[in-house]
Amino acid sequence: MTNWKIQRMALAGAALLLAATASAQTVKLSTSMGDIRIQLDAEKAPKSTANFIQYVKAGHYDGTVFHRVIENFMIQGGGFTANGQQKPTKPPIPLESKNGLRNVRGSVAMARTNDPNSATAQFFINTVDNAFLDADNSRDGNGYAVFGQVIEGMDVVDKIRAVPVTDKGMFQNVPVTNVTINKATVESKK
């Protein structure tokens, strides 16, 4: 292959990468404590990203609360209304935890039960690096699927992680005062 063909291919690849980055989707969570913007990674977590976007577009997250807050671990939301009612969900999605994305501070991952393929609408934002949640470090060998990263609003995440929590019935680490996702919106990176 000639040198000019290699350069042309490299430029074409760079243009594709730039176009993909420019059109990468973000989701804005407008919460009662401020806005959080999440950059989604559809390339490495296509099923989790598509699932999350479907819930956002359906208005599922609007009016839900961060129902589990553990300061030096994570904040979890997307499943319960302000009065503690669980919202109905679509069928679970397959686990995508072996995608190379890590549970580091600011990363966004799908919450699940002990069944690795049980993630539906609930998600969490890591408030610290949680390497033990990565598939290769986890006790069960499955881990938790990261599908995004907070790109704006970690100050809001830090405010949420610091709220006073209590136990309510069978739930632990519930904020004393509701922290609500008022609206979730799919955006395109500008």
pLDDT above 90 for 121: yes
Cα distance between residue 52 and residue 140, in whole Å: 24
Q: Which residues are 82's β-sheet partners?
A: none
pLDDT for 17 equals: 40
Lowest mean pLDDT among 32-36, 152-156, 185-189: 185-189
Lowest mean pLDDT among 9-18, 75-84, 107-116: 9-18
Quote the mean pLDDT of the chain. Answer: 90
Q: pTM for the full model?
A: 0.87
Cα distance between residue 12 and residue 18, in whole Å: 10
Read off the pLDDT of each residue in 4-11 and give the average, rounded to a whole number: 48
Read off the pLDDT of each residue in 84-100 and give the average, rounded to a whole number: 97
